[in-house]
Amino acid sequence: MWYILLFLFLLLFALWNITLIGYKERDLTPLESDESQCFCEKAKSIILVQHADQAILLIHGFPTTPYLYCYSAPRFFESGMDVYAPLLPGFGTDVKKFEQTNFTQWFSYLCSYYEKLRAQYKTVYVLGTSMGGLMTLKLGETYCASAQAPDKLVTIAAPVVYNSIRDRIFTNKQAYFMRTVALFKTSKNPKTICRNPDGEDGNEDWVGYGGTFYRSGLSLMYAMKEVRKNLPLLTCPLFSIHDINDKTIPFENLHIIQKENKSSCFKSLETEMGAFNHSRHALLMYHSIQKELTDTIIEFLQDKEHHHG
């Protein structure tokens, strides 16, 4: 009898960790971004305004900063857009404060930020990388059917699945136990990185946090479930980009987005970078691909045939 009880306990324990059933964010307090607390100047927002009638909102990833767009932001500006790459609250400042924040708080801040831009500009585009790509999808799911719909969306290496038995995607098997670990630890080896001296191809300029963040990472993984479920709500023009050999977020995510969204104009791009030591993930940072990729994105955004409505 005892071994049946043990088996049932282990089964429930595994399901509790894998499915995240019953998970809730601990804190829903609205957050503001305080750039006076940034650990380095490069971590701050990038805002470039020329009073154009079109704007682009650039959303950074986890656990990075807007410096991800240090090349592409000026390029979008030169092409005639006002550029807004905000630092999400909790990021780019004190690691201990970041550990106490969650996806719901970050996304709530982003929605307010987006709604202000939408009220101010005739045309608003949204582009996000990694977690920023997930947020871009969620913004689309939230606003595409409303008067506040974004005109076009662009995602780079967006995750809608991290580990999935159903999709045979196993990015990090240790993440299956992150929920249990997060009960006891918020992070492992947290640190700030203002430059990565071992990087190459532009990756040496990476700015953000290093280490493993159990609680905030768990929050991010949980958010993916709802974003994936709501992919059919995406009706705005959508351009999704992913590198075939991405080492951070599995390339198969691109195919899931492709199959499950209902965009009026969906375009995808599969890149295949050369032999570099970086993760092939934050594509707009890499010198070898950023010019060509930015050109392609600008072309998509300025294509009059593909518009919302």
Q: pLDDT of 218-253, one tens digit each?
A: 999 999 999 999 999 999 999 999 999 999 999 999
Mean pLDDT of the chain: 94
Give the pLDDT confidence score for residue 305 in this predicted structure.
62
The distance between the two most distant Cα atoms of the chain, rounded to a whole number of Å, is 73
- Indicate if the pLDDT at residue 166 is higher than 90: no
CATH architecture of 2-302: 3-Layer(aba) Sandwich (3.40)
Q: Where are the domains of the chain?
A: 2-302
Write the pLDDT tens digit of every residue in 8-48. Answer: 888 888 888 888 999 999 899 999 999 999 999 999 999 99
Q: What is the pTM of this model?
A: 0.95
Parallel, antiparallel, or unpaired for β 46-48 and 82-85?
A: antiparallel
Contacts of residue 1, Cβ cutoff 8 Å, sequence gap at least 6: none
Range with the lowest mean pLDDT among 18-27, 49-58, 97-106, 236-245? 18-27
Name which of 81, 65, 63, 64 is nearest 73 in CA terms. Answer: 81
* Contact between residue 4 and residue 156 where contact means Cβ atoms under 8 Å apart: no
